[in-house]
Structure 1
Amino acid sequence: MENSVKTDEIFIEKIFNASIESVFQAWTDPEKLMKWYAPDGCTIAFKKLEIEKGGTYHSCISNPQYGDCWCIGEYKEVIPNSKITFTVINADENGNPINPAEMGMDPDWPGNTVVTVTLTEENGKTKLQLRQTVSQELAKKTGAYPSWLQMLDNMQELLIQIG
């Protein structure tokens, strides 16, 4: 049986009943991003956020149950209304890369992954495809995969609210 999803990556596809411009802005407007870019029950804060090619970020997702998760990364591609690619590196509060196992994460979790978001228009709606360079099975086990699903649902709610 042919499977187009690679076993070494997360793959999520979601259709948004919103324009491609609105979906792109949800990823690139810091005010909008802060409203949805954290799993349910969590909050996100940015020490640094430069959403442009070569730009960097330093973020912290605070989870009341598991504590803070700091990340740093670089935007490799930001193509308006089309594609965003960025690295996600587990880090400490000062922005120093850190081994995920030292943070209490699964020892198999890679300390550096790449997220690629592609947007295409389909009949006035927007198809989003998200890929991350980590095994989908591991991401389901660690909670990263359901976190992405929650975050994209939150983005959908935001897009409905702002119309």
Structure 2
Amino acid sequence: MAEVSLDFQFKSSINKVWDSLTDSDSLAKWIMENDFKPVVGHKCQFRNPQWNLIVECEVLVVDEPNKLSYTWVGGPIDTIVTWTLKEEDGTTYLHLEQTGFEKEDQAYNGAKYGWGGMVDELKKVLGEM
């Protein structure tokens, strides 16, 4: 099994970063259109009509503002995305783990590089670029 593990830092407060991970309108600005709700057991979709892409999700963990986890299933990918947040000295540290890849293949590399690009968009949403 392979996993994507990435770390990011923001000047924004932990609550502002948490909101950008859990608010459907904010998520639409940096990931995809969605009907996400931060409620354990909630089933939702992330949709990108341009790529004809639908990702099915189910919320697994909501520990505001420290941890959020949900399934991320679409095409050949059947994974779990977990965000862990920590705030120290005015910096919010965001750790992403996406687990469940069978090997380091195209889907794995797409996720690894895709999240980096999406987090650049998140920085714009947070007003940090």
TM bucket (normalised to shorter chain) is: 0.7 to 0.9
Work out whether residues 10 and 136 of structure 1, in 8 Å CA contact, stay in contact via their aligned partners in 2.
Answer: no
Q: List 4+ stretches of structure 1 deviating above 3 A.
A: none
Alpha-carbon distance between aligned partners in 2 of 1:135 and 1:121, rounded to the nearest angstrom? 32
Q: Give 2:79's aligned amino acid.
A: T
- The structure where strand makes up a greater share of residues is 2
Q: Which residue of 1 aligns with 2:23?
A: 29
Given candidates 110, 120, 124, the residue that maps to 2:86 is 120
Q: Which residue of 2 aligns with 1:137?
A: 104
Q: Which residue of 1 aligns with 2:126?
A: 159
Aligned positions of 1:79-98 closer than 5 A: 79-90=63-74
Alpha-carbon distance between aligned partners in 2 of 1:130 and 1:45, rounded to the nearest angstrom? 20
Aligned positions of 1:45-64 closer than 5 A: 45-46=33-34, 48-63=35-50
Shift in Å, 1:45 = 2.3
Q: Which has the larger radius of gyration?
A: 1
Residue segments in structure 1 that go unaligned for 5+ positions in a row:
1-6, 38-43, 91-99, 101-108
Residue segments in structure 2 that go unaligned for 5+ positions in a row:
none
Q: Which residue of 2 aligns with 1:74?
A: 58
Q: Which residue of 1 aligns with 2:116?
A: 149
Work out whether residues 117 and 129 of structure 1, in 8 Å CA contact, stay in contact via their aligned partners in 2.
Answer: yes
Q: Give 1:27's aligned amino acid.
A: L
Identity %: 28
Alpha-carbon distance between aligned partners in 1 of 2:79 and 2:62, rounded to the nearest angstrom? 17
Q: TM-score, normalization: structure 2?
A: 0.87
Two-structure CA RMSD over aligned residues (Å): 1.8
Alpha-carbon distance between aligned partners in 2 of 1:32 and 1:62, rounded to the nearest angstrom? 18
